[in-house]
Amino acid sequence: MRFLSLFVSGLLILSMPYLAQAKSAPILTIFNWQHYLSDHVIALWEKETGVTIKQVYFDSDTKRDRTINQLTRNDIDIAIIDEVSARNFSRQNRLNKLSDNPLITNQSHIPELWRNQCGEHAVPYFWGTLGLIYRKDIFPKPPTSWNDILTPTPEHQGHLVMQSDYSDLLLPSLFVRGVSAHTTNKEVLKEVYQELVAQIPYVKTYEYLLTYVEQDPSRAKDIHLAMGYSGDEVTLQTFTPGYEWGFHIPDEGTILWVDCLAVLKTAPSPDLAARFLNFLHRPDIAALNALDLAMTTTNSQAHQHVPPYEKQNLALYPDQNLLDKAQFYSTLINTSMTLRTRISHAVILQHRQLNDDD
For 283-308, how does the pLDDT look when each residue is reduced to its tens digit (9 = 90+)? 999 999 998 988 889 999 998 888 77
CA distances 131 to 143, 148, 263, 287, Å, are 10, 12, 30, 24
pLDDT at 12 over 50: no
pLDDT at 20 over 50: no
Beta bridge partners of 169: none
pLDDT at 173 over 60: yes
**CATH no. for 27-127+259-319:** 3.40.190.10
Could you say which DSSP state residue 350 is in? H
128-255+327-356 has the same fold as 27-127+259-319: yes
The mean of the pLDDT values for the chain is 89
pLDDT for 314 equals 56
pLDDT at 21 over 70: no
Region of poorest pLDDT, from 29-38, 65-74, 249-258, 263-272: 65-74
Helices (H), 136-263: 147-150, 166-169, 171-176, 186-199, 209-215, 232-239
pLDDT for 18 equals 45
Region of poorest pLDDT, from 3-17, 70-84, 198-212, 321-335: 3-17
Give the confidence band of 8 by pLDDT, cuts at 50, 70, 90: very low
The predicted-structure confidence for 195-219, as pLDDT tens digits, reads as follows 999 999 999 999 999 989 999 999 9
Ranges of each domain in the chain: 27-127+259-319, 128-255+327-356
For domain 128-255+327-356, the CATH class is alpha beta
CA distances 245 to 92, 137, 164, 294, Å, are 41, 8, 22, 14
pLDDT at 146 over 70: yes
Whole-model pTM: value is 0.82
pLDDT at 17 over 60: no
Q: Parallel, antiparallel, or unpaired for β 160-161 and 27-32?
A: unpaired
Greater confidence, 312 or 37? 37
pLDDT for 336 equals 80
d(CA 151, CA 25): 55
pLDDT for 103 equals 98
Cβ atoms 316, 302 nearer than 8 A: yes
Q: Parallel, antiparallel, or unpaired for β 225-229 and 160-161?
A: parallel
Q: Parallel, antiparallel, or unpaired for β 78-82 and 27-32?
A: parallel
pLDDT for 334 equals 73
pLDDT at 174 over 70: yes
pLDDT for 266 equals 94
Cβ atoms 179, 333 nearer than 8 A: no
pLDDT at 189 over 70: yes
